[in-house]
Amino acid sequence: MSETPQMVFSVSELNAYVGALLAADERLRSLTVRGEISGFKRHSSGHLYFSLKDESALVRCVMFKGQALRLGFRPEDGMQVRAQGYAALYARDGSFQLYVQALEREGAGALYARFLALRQQLEQEGYFDPAHKKPIPFLPRCVGVVTSGTGAAIQDVMQIIGRRFPKMPVCLCPVKVQGEGAAQEIAAGIREMNRQRAADVLIVGRGGGSIEDLFAFNEPAVAKAIYESELPVISAVGHETDFTIADFVADLRAPTPSAAAELAVPAYEECAAALASLGARLAASLGAGLTRRRDRLALLLHGAGFAAPQRRLADARFALDAARQSLERGAEQRLLAERHRLAQLGGKLAALDPDAVLGRGYAVVRTAEGAVLSSVDDARAGMEISVRLRDGSLSAAVNDIHRKES
């Protein structure tokens, strides 16, 4: 009995054959796979490469740039997701992989749907209208910050503002930024900063997190408070790729809290350079004006009129006196006006001096280690503190702690 000859495949033929089998399976043409992201990599081309795994298996995945640009979150290793796409064989290296066309976080689909619905509603109601947005002041007297009092965001904001404009006062309204009641606290903080009028601009935000962590900034209460704020608001929620309703309503969106601090205050050196440039332009303008008038006088002195009879000489002398008086008056008035302008600019800078703020009855309270004590939550009975006033400082101890009623 003769045996049937066994078919011999080339590698290319084998991969093509298996690929055709997979392509013919309708269940593999459109499927959803649940798993944990592993080995995530964003290629310079914009394509995403990663694997999905569970307790006992792993499948390689690729998501091309066009689909990746539509993602509403930043994929990371360890993230539980649902991937929609099709399965196929990559013939070049014989690898089976999932071609992902859509990706969403497990449990995030309902939240994202709420986000889209609220965004559409608020856009129809005019919350995002550019005509409603207020300009950000160039040099605020004080920067207000509505965020967590213990998070990384406030530390980043304080560091950047301290570096760019060391004497700029910062007023913090500490609030919850995630979890139950966070949206209400954020909205109340924005309204309280408007009531106090201690700041000229507000930074509202927090550091990065998942869509669940950031969702307080997608709530209607926060959107309404930002929209109704009379103070200009800079939103700073999460990372550059994170977008919330607060970003659309705010007068200006910053990709991160650090970037918000950069946008809120100018660099002190730039202000000093601008003042120096103004002084130089003033001196140059006055000098040029005097030179033009001297040249005009020289022409009068050497003109043909001085060779005419006595009457023309008297007329020329009268014109000379009038020109001299006009020159003196004009130069004096110009100099007074520019001195007044420089005095106003100097007064505005002086008003930002922390000692001037202390002179209005405010005080700076520090712990024994020198850290600023900005919340009763950071104090305890018996703690030694120092209180800096306008003309000195006091050493004291905390006897009782009374929290402000909300």
Q: Quick check: is 1 in a domain? A: no
- Position 406 in a domain: no
CA distance 269 to 275: 10
Identify whether 31 is part of a domain. Answer: yes
Strands 143-147 and 170-174: parallel
CA dihedral 372, 376, 382, 388 (to 10 degrees): 40
CA distance 233 to 185: 16
- Owning domain of residue 79: 11-106
Contact 187, 224 (CB under 8 A): yes
What mean pLDDT comes out for the span 375-394?
A: 88
- Which of 151, 277, 173, 261 minimizes the C-alpha distance to 225? 173
Specify whether 293 is located in the same domain as 207: no
Check whether residue 229 and residue 185 sit in a common domain. yes
On whether the CB atoms of residues 258 and 203 are closer than 8 A, the answer is no
Greater confidence (14 vs 245) lies with 245
Residues 139 and 172 occupy one common structural domain: yes
Task: Confirm whether 60 is domain-assigned.
Answer: yes
Residue 336 pLDDT class (50, 70, 90 cuts): confident
If 0-12 CB within 10 Å is exposed, 13-18 middle and 19+ buried, where does residue 373 land? Answer: middle
pLDDT for the residue 220: 97
CATH of the domain at 62: 2.40.50.140
pTM of the model: 0.51
Q: What one-letter code names the amino acid at 344?
A: Q
Cα atoms found within 13 Å of the Cα of residue 105, Cβ hemisphere only = 20
Domain shared by 235 and 128, yes or no: yes
Please tell me whether residues 153 and 238 are part of one structural domain: yes
Residue range 94-109: mean pLDDT, rounded: 84
The residue among 97, 85, 86 whose CA lies nearest residue 23 is 86
Q: Structural domain tally of the chain?
A: 4
Do residues 361 and 226 both lie within one domain?
no
Claim to verify: residue 126 and residue 163 sit in the same structural domain: yes
215 plus 327 within the same structural domain:
no
Q: What integer pLDDT is reported at residue 204 of this predicted model?
A: 98
Distance of alpha carbon 37 from alpha carbon 52, whole angstroms:
5
Average pLDDT over residues 226-254: 93
398 near 373, Cβ under 8 Å? no
How many CB atoms are located within 10 Å of the residue 218 CB? 23
- Single out the residue of 190, 161, 165, 157 nearest to residue 175, CA to CA: 190
Q: Which of 47, 80, 106 is the last residue of a domain?
A: 106
231: domain CATH number is 3.40.50.261
Per-residue pLDDT at 27 exceeds 70: yes
Mean pLDDT of the chain: 87
Q: What percent of the chain is predicted at pLDDT more than 70?
A: 95
pLDDT of residue 49: 95
Res 349: pLDDT: 76
Query: Is the pLDDT reported for residue 1 higher than 80?
Result: no
Residues 233 and 168 in one domain: yes
Judged by average pLDDT, the poorest of 35-49, 99-113, 161-175, 384-398 is 99-113
Distance, in Å, from the CA atom of 287 to the CA atom of 290, rounded to the nearest integer, reads 5
- Residue type for 183, please? A
Task: Count Cβ atoms below 10 Å from residue 118 Cβ, excluding itself.
Answer: 17
- On the question of pLDDT at 308 being above 60, the answer is no
Rg (CA), the chain: 35
Task: Name which of 168-182, 271-285, 337-351, 380-394 the model is least confident about.
Answer: 337-351
* % pLDDT > 90, the chain: 44
Cα–Cα distance, 73 to 76 (Å, whole number): 9
Residues 6+ apart with CB under 8 A from 46: 64, 65, 68, 69
Q: Are 128 and 216 members of one domain?
A: yes
Question: Is 93 part of a structural domain of the chain?
Answer: yes
- Confidence category of residue 364, pLDDT binned at 50, 70, 90: confident
Question: Do 245 and 160 share a structural domain?
Answer: yes
Residue 364 belongs to some domain of the structure:
yes
In a domain, 392, yes or no: yes
For residue 48, being part of any structural domain is answered with yes
First-to-last CA distance in the chain? Answer: 95
Identify whether residues 280 and 344 lie together within a single domain. Answer: yes
Structure confidence at residue 109 (pLDDT): 62
Of the candidates 237, 266, 295, which is a domain's last residue?
266
Give the whole-angstrom CA distance, residue 225 versus residue 359. Answer: 32
On the question of pLDDT at 353 being above 80, the answer is no
Collapse the DSSP code of 374 into the 3-class scheme (helix H, G, I; strand E, B; otherwise coil) and give the result.
Answer: coil
The better pLDDT of the pair 196, 309 is held by 196
Query: Which of 242, 266, 290 delimits the end of a domain?
Result: 266
